[in-house]
Structure 1
Amino acid sequence: MTAFVHPDRHHVAVLARHGLLPIETGIVHRLFGRAVGTDGQPLYEVVTCAVEPGVITTDTDFTLNVHHGPEAVDKADTVILPAAQEDYVERPHDPISPDLAAVVNRIPEHARIASICTGAFVLAALGLLEGCRVTTHWQSAGFFRAMYPHIDLDPDVLYTDNGRVLTAAGVASGIDLSLHMIRADHGASVANEVARHTVVPPHRDGGQAQYIRHPVPDPERSSTSRARAWVLDHLHLQPSLSDMADREAMSVRTFTRRFRDEVGQSPGQWLAQQRLDRARQLLEESDLAVDRIAHAAGFGTSASLRQHMHAGLGVSPSAYRRTFQGVADEVP
């Protein structure tokens, strides 16, 4: 059976293993399958494959009938490895079989490789995470560090992007990573539309830290959500940390601590991401000059916007606009 039918589309192969988590496979098909171009045509073709075609067990009471074998990865542009139940079994040897290793080694050099949840253990066992900053489910972080102490693990983030190799944290963070890849391939407008149809936020605040159960919860603690909502409506005013704390009638120290508890990152990190996201949206969806976009997103000057886009995305505002909108801009 032919794995990919449409040669002009970006090919995504989901590598299923026995004991897989169905939700993680479904996430990939749902999100990438919803991405369409301006002509309404799908931008991706997604197939599921396995070491051997046939019935694949899951961690539920139903199975998946996978039609494609290892040949599906041969022409893939992106290969995604979801978690499997066996990843959760702590044992002294690497959780990978020679047959699975052979399939992963067939992935073309140009192809992107992404793991979801504990799929990162397989990539680590094959040496694909050397020199990378990676993540996995926070509950498995200690086990991962014990097995691969030399790998830079960040258990607090939802996903990491090292260029060719990407990793996502637990389960639903596969949504965040999929939207990130769609955004990188086709821009924020396409990713936002996919998120809207899927009824999920196009970008979640913070990281895994907000989902870890704290040993002594404080029922009286105040939320920082009002300050965040206010900031999003007033980025052009370049709100400061003090401004945000004042909105919640907190001291800067208290606000910073509670913000990090709720969002999983510092107010400064969160604010920088919101400004960059707003600038990307305006570059794609408007013909505003770069200096006006810089002001609207809270960067102040076009020079500051260029600096932050180079640091965060590796491109200039005009290059980003040409890529995702096809409109030249007067500011280099």
Structure 2
Amino acid sequence: MHKGMLLLTVLLIGVMIAIPAILVRFDDEDPLTKNNASGQTALDSGPTIKVYLTEEKQVEKVPLERYIRGVVAAEMPADFHLEALKAQAMVARTYIVDRLAKGNFDDMQEMGGKAAEAHVTDSVNHQVYRNDEALKAEWGDKYDTYVKRINQAVAETKGQVILYEGEPIYAAFFSTSNGQTENSEDYFSSSYPYLRSVPSPWDQASPKFNDQKSYSVQEFVQHLTQSTGKEVAVSASVGNGWLKVIEQTEGGRIAKIQVGDQVFTGRQVREALDLSSSDFKWKVEGDTITLTTEGYGHGVGMSQWGANLMGKKGKRAEEIIHYYYQGVTIAGMEKTLAQIEDDN
């Protein structure tokens, strides 16, 4: 073979080998841990969030986007569809930006001690949050894979929050619906125009869609009395007649139910008996009552399993947000964030 042709062939082979290697290197770069021109990573951007770690009883200070990563990782399974993770990132960011903008931390002051120095806890009282140390312990050898997925979700939604009429929304979310979400006022005390009941039929594929619990009638009544303070009188001849649904919500859950001589909300029964949902049916056999629920959580706002399955059906994060939160917009909060940074 001519020397020139040989040299050209070797060169072409070298290029063919080098290009995939370069592409692999680029693909492996984590969008949130890659340094920018100033040497800062995207994870280190945004105002400082002061998180009270309830187990350690210490305050951890983290940049906003790193905090969002820790919330998404704690609140949603890391193997969920990327678009669902992105939607969760926007929800988490909206919550904390709204809280910082309002500047009301009275609940932290009431906790006292170190907590009084923080903006939020790492618990369900606000948003569940896990730092890197906790995630490494929880995920083990899957840490690198999972954290890269979460980082991508945070990076691709960086700075984006959900607004209604220019203000951050109350970004409620939960695990699994009963096939329909709730109007906010049917579970909470407040009515929000963007938290309306919508169908969420995808949730039936969730492993948390069904649950069942059994109690003795005496235990059932005791739990209700202890939780609500209402004394319940039940007929001596126990049967299904002492339980009667009076009203249902638009989302198909129990709004009001008569138990013996008292009336309770579905939420009161759910919380007193630690049920997965306020959509429940029951069966009484002898002295035992068995309750079967559909859905997991309060049912208001974004269904996480619904979002995951919508993502698998090709829906983008923005479409998921607009579906579960009616009439909202997605935008950056540059002015609000700048104000927060000035205050920190």
Q: TM-score higher than 0.5 here?
A: no
TM-score (norm 1): 0.23
Larger RCO, structures 1/2 (Cα 8 Å, 6+ apart): 2
